[in-house]
Amino acid sequence: MALAVTSSSSTAISGSSFSRSGASSESKALQICSIRLSGRTHLSQRRFSLKPLNAESHSRSESWVPRASTLTAPEVEEKGGEVEDFEQLAKKLEDASPLEIMDKALEKFGDDIAIAFSGAEDVALIEYARLTGKPFRVFSLDTGRLNPETYRLFDAVEKQYGIRIEYMFPDAVEVQALVRNKGLFSFYEDGHQECCRVRKVRPLRRALKGLKAWITGQRKDQSPGTRSEIPIVQVDPVFEGLDGGAGSLVKWNPLANVEGADVWTFLRTMDVPVNALHAQGYVSIGCEPCTRPVLPGQHEREGRWWWEDAKAKECGLHKGNIKEEDGAVDSKPAAVQEIFESNNVVTLSKEGIENLTKLRNRKEAWLVVLYAPWCPFCQAMEASYIELAEKLAGKGVKVAKFRADGEQKEFAKQELQLGSFPTILLFPKSAPRAIKYPSEHRDVDSLMSFVNLLR
Ligand code: SF4
């Protein structure tokens, strides 16, 4: 059975319009080919060398997305042959329609490229791919936590387009360890990054290692904090492709300059199957526990990981959107600005906090945050914590901080109950053991209640 192969009708593309004979949807396509384009891109200077394409079609059992069990680390190869400047290409395509961009992507990469389909409005990508008349491949990450409506959409899409979606699943052992250790809903307590890493990012990484390019539905208007500079095409700044090493993967974002309303006009006009959750107020759709409907006027990303800081809302699939200075880079104690700087916040050394844990009768209670200055959750609570320290100054509770990343991390995990950053501990005056602050609410009032109840 052919994989994600559309009809073989030819498609002629010129400028931002296109024509295609036969199907009734073509006239509709012509109606929607004028799409508002917003914003301009800023592109890196990196270059990427192309390898010859393999344009053979594959059956489901011959999926090009490798299974976890068959993967080996790719060799980093010397890249020869033609060199493509994707910055230049992105500039050329800046005013192109999504259809034109999709056509170019499929033409360049053949079977070495696949559409990443999340089960939401990025179904538009599949429709655009169909309209090119070229064969295309689709993969999706089945995290195990999707809504039933999303699974039904996957099925409807497979039937409508006569394709087989190449599903990627998380590693069963990793999921088992996470859930056994932390429960089914740990992301509400210590952030979504760990669960997303296991259920999404690692499966995605495996998928991309079987490809030379991928196509995403990212748009600039989706998340003003992190997606405002998405180029039409770029060397992927985060993931590696088939050839291995930095620069071995190209990322296409045909919808980068399209506004959400125009995507919906396109979907309606083309009568494309959509996720039933959209009719219930959902806009951006991910896993069931981490997605909720939004109200009219609310930004769509407010329906995702709503309990977290806005800049921490990238699940890792598009981490390259976040600039390093935003501090969201994984576990990297780089030279970043120190936080919790206040005369009322005591900086504890390792010896200092060890002594604190050994004391049985303390003169005062201590509140200590275990932090990493690059962590966005720590940064988000900085103002509250400093205000709290001011309020508690001279009131019998010392407020302190202990930097627990880098070489202190293991010690903090073993001895100080560190799960993720930030971890807040109260050392009461008379109780020997530190009490871990159990909530994600790190505002002054919540922290003050915790201190006053237990000091
Ligand atoms: Fe886990 Fe939520 Fe991320 Fe899905 S979106 S992988 S449930 S944290």
Averaged confidence pLDDT in the chain: 78
**How confident is the model over 284-304, as a mean pLDDT?**
80
Q: Is 315 in the pocket of ligand 1 (CB under 6 A)?
A: yes
Three-state DSSP at 324 gives helix
What DSSP element (H or E) covers 242? Answer: none
Lowest mean pLDDT among 83-87, 254-258, 394-398: 83-87
Pocket test for ligand 1, best of 118, 142, 145 (most atoms within 8 A of CB): 145
Specify which of 12-16, 62-66, 210-214, 262-266 reaches the highest per-range mean pLDDT.
210-214
Distance of CA 171 to the CA centre of its chain: 18
Q: Is 285 in the pocket of ligand 1 (CB under 6 A)?
A: no
Q: Which atom of ligand 1 is nearest to the CA of 192?
A: 8
CA distance 219 to 254: 8
Residue with CA nearest ligand 1 atom 4? 287
* Positions marked catalytic: 375, 378
Three-state DSSP at 203 gives helix
Give me the residue label for tokens 């001011």.
Answer: 390
Q: Which atom of ligand 1 is nearest to the CA of 145?
A: 7
CA distance 438 to 420: 12
pLDDT in tens, 182-216: 999 999 988 888 999 999 999 999 999 999 999 99
Residue 83's pLDDT is 67
If you measure from the C-alpha of residue 51 to the centroid of ligand 1, how many angstroms do you get, rounded to a whole number?
Answer: 35
Structure-model confidence comparison of residues 290 and 67, the more confident one: 290
Residue with CA nearest ligand 1 atom 5? 287
- C-beta contacts of 328-332 below 8 A and 24+ residues apart: 328/374, 328/376, 329/374, 330/193, 331/405, 332/374
Q: Is 260 in the pocket of ligand 1 (CB under 6 A)?
A: no
Pocket test for ligand 1, best of 174, 175, 185, 195 (most atoms within 8 A of CB): 195
Residue with CA nearest ligand 1 atom 7? 287
If you measure from the C-alpha of residue 322 to the centroid of ligand 1, how many angstroms do you get, rounded to a whole number?
Answer: 19
- Can you read off the two tokens belonging to residue 215? 């196509």
Statement: residue 77 has pLDDT above 60: no
Q: Is 143 in the pocket of ligand 1 (CB under 6 A)?
A: yes
If you measure from the C-alpha of residue 196 to the centroid of ligand 1, how many angstroms do you get, rounded to a whole number?
Answer: 5
Q: Is 288 in the pocket of ligand 1 (CB under 6 A)?
A: no
What percent of the chain is predicted at pLDDT more than 90?
Answer: 49
pLDDT in tens, 116-136: 999 888 999 999 999 999 999
Residue 65's pLDDT is 46
If you measure from the C-alpha of residue 332 to the centroid of ligand 1, how many angstroms do you get, rounded to a whole number?
Answer: 22
**How confident is the model over 291-298, as a mean pLDDT?**
76
If you measure from the C-alpha of residue 100 to the centroid of ligand 1, how many angstroms do you get, rounded to a whole number?
Answer: 33
Statement: residue 4 has pLDDT above 70: no
Statement: residue 22 has pLDDT above 90: no
CA distance 117 to 104: 19
CA distance 302 to 317: 18
**HSE-up of residue 308 (Cα within 13 Å, Cβ side):** 26
Pocket test for ligand 1, best of 141, 147, 179, 196 (most atoms within 8 A of CB): 196
Q: Is 289 in the pocket of ligand 1 (CB under 6 A)?
A: yes
Pocket test for ligand 1, best of 146, 178, 185, 199 (most atoms within 8 A of CB): 199
Q: Which atom of ligand 1 is nearest to the CA of 187?
A: 8
301 — pLDDT class (breaks 50, 70, 90): low
CA distance 338 to 375: 11
CA distance 401 to 142: 39
Q: What is the pTM of this model?
A: 0.57
If you measure from the C-alpha of residue 7 to the centroid of ligand 1, how many angstroms do you get, rounded to a whole number?
Answer: 35
Residue 173 and residue 179 in contact, taking contact as beta carbons nearer than 8 Å: no
Give me the residue label for tokens 């990981």.
Answer: 305
CA distance 32 to 128: 11
Q: Is 199 in the pocket of ligand 1 (CB under 6 A)?
A: yes
pLDDT in tens, 215-248: 999 998 875 555 557 899 999 888 899 998 878 9
320 — pLDDT class (breaks 50, 70, 90): low
If you measure from the C-alpha of residue 376 to the centroid of ligand 1, how many angstroms do you get, rounded to a whole number?
Answer: 18
Residue 244 and residue 76 in contact, taking contact as beta carbons nearer than 8 Å: yes
- Can you read off the two tokens belonging to residue 188? 């509400």
pLDDT in tens, 95-114: 999 999 999 999 999 999 99
Residue with CA nearest ligand 1 atom 8? 192
